[in-house]
């Protein structure tokens, strides 16, 4: 609670400065109203939070076009307060407005779209519309799974890239650890017959070979070759590049 009170004081100071230097319909003021509203909401001051969100939304509706993402965020913020106040019809209407904008301006895997589905789902649940809530949460979850998959794959690529450098530097234990991390991700994301898993086996095999762990290296090379022979067309360069015994 102490941190929230400090946050409120800081937001009030920031707002006072912005009100002095900006015109009354400046977007920065809207952002400041929204920030303060979040703190008031967290403190349980719902009426104050609603008033601040309404001020912010009034500015956004004047300065932005009707499909602007900041306007969607304004509707969502107010929807959360209305929901907390028990004004579920108002919360649903605001949530639908926010979702309508996001579906127009975001791609289908944008995490902001998932947030809107979750928000609307929570309102539908409070209204007793459980089937609708379930479907909305499923949509949100599908986006989140696709989004997290992208992030995890980027992380695996990062491990592989660093492992390659460590191997070149002669830091074989570090390279092995990084390749193992990457392999764990590939095996989690893909089935074990995916070519990317084979590449990861192959990378780890070379490190094991350099470490003198020849049995482990041979086993990994064979796994990589088996996957490539099953998943790639005959004569594919990936098969030709596989280590053969």
Q: Is the domain of 21 the same as that of 106? A: yes
Q: Is the domain of 114 the same as that of 14? A: yes
Residue 132 included in any domain: yes
Please provide the DSSP assignment of 2-68 as one string: HHHHHHHHHHHHHHHHHHHHS-TT-HHHHHHHHHHHHHHHHHT-HHHHHHHHHHHHHHHHHHS-TT-
Query: Residue 244 corresponds to which tokens in the numbers above?
Result: 């053969």
Whole-structure pTM value: 0.73
- Is 178:156 a contact under the CB 8 Å cutoff? no
Domain end point (choices 144, 171, 189) = 144
Domain end point (choices 114, 144, 174) = 144
The residue among 135, 132, 131, 137 whose CA lies nearest residue 116 is: 137
Alpha helices in 110-213 (DSSP H): 111-126, 130-169, 172-189, 195-210
The continuous run of DSSP H or E covering 225 comes out as helix 214-231
Q: What is the CA radius of gyration of the chain?
A: 26
Domain end point (choices 115, 144, 173) = 144
pLDDT in tens, the chain (245 residues): 568 899 999 999 999 999 999 999 999 999 999 999 999 999 999 999 999 999 999 999 999 999 999 999 999 999 999 999 999 999 999 999 999 999 999 998 899 999 999 999 999 999 999 999 999 999 999 999 888 888 888 899 899 889 989 998 999 999 999 999 999 998 888 877 788 888 889 999 999 999 999 999 999 999 888 887 776 555 444 444 554 44
Q: Using CA atoms, how far apart are residues 39 and 33, in angstroms rounded to an integer?
A: 10
């Amino acid at each position: 609670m102490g941190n929230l009170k400090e946050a409120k004081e800081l937001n009030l100071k920031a707002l006072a400065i912005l009100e002095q230097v900006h015109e009354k319909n400046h977007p920065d003021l809207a952002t400041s109203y929204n920030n303060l509203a979040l703190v008031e909401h967290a403190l349980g001051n719902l009426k104050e939070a609603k008033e601040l969100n309404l001020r912010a939304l009034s500015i956004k509706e004047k300065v932005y076009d009707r499909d602007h993402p900041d306007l969607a965020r304004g509707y969502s913020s107010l929807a959360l307060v209305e929901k907390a106040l028990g004004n579920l019809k108002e919360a649903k209407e605001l949530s639908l407005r926010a979702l309508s904008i996001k579906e127009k301006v975001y791609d289908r895997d944008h995490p902001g779209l998932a947030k809107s589905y979750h928000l609307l789902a929570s309102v539908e649940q409070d209204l007793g519309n459980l089937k609708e809530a379930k479907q909305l949460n499923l949509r949100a979850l599908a986006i989140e799974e696709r989004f997290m998959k992208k992030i995890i794959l980027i992380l695996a690529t990062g491990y592989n890239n660093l492992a390659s450098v460590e191997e070149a530097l002669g830091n074989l234990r570090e390279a092995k650890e990084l390749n193992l991390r990457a392999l764990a991700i590939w095996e989690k994301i893909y089935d074990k017959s995916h070519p990317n898993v084979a590449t990861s086996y192959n990378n780890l095999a070379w490190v094991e070979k350099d470490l003198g762990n020849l049995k482990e290296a041979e086993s990994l090379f064979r796994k990589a070759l088996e996957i490539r022979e099953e998943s790639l067309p005959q004569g594919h360069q990936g098969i030709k590049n596989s280590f053969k015994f």
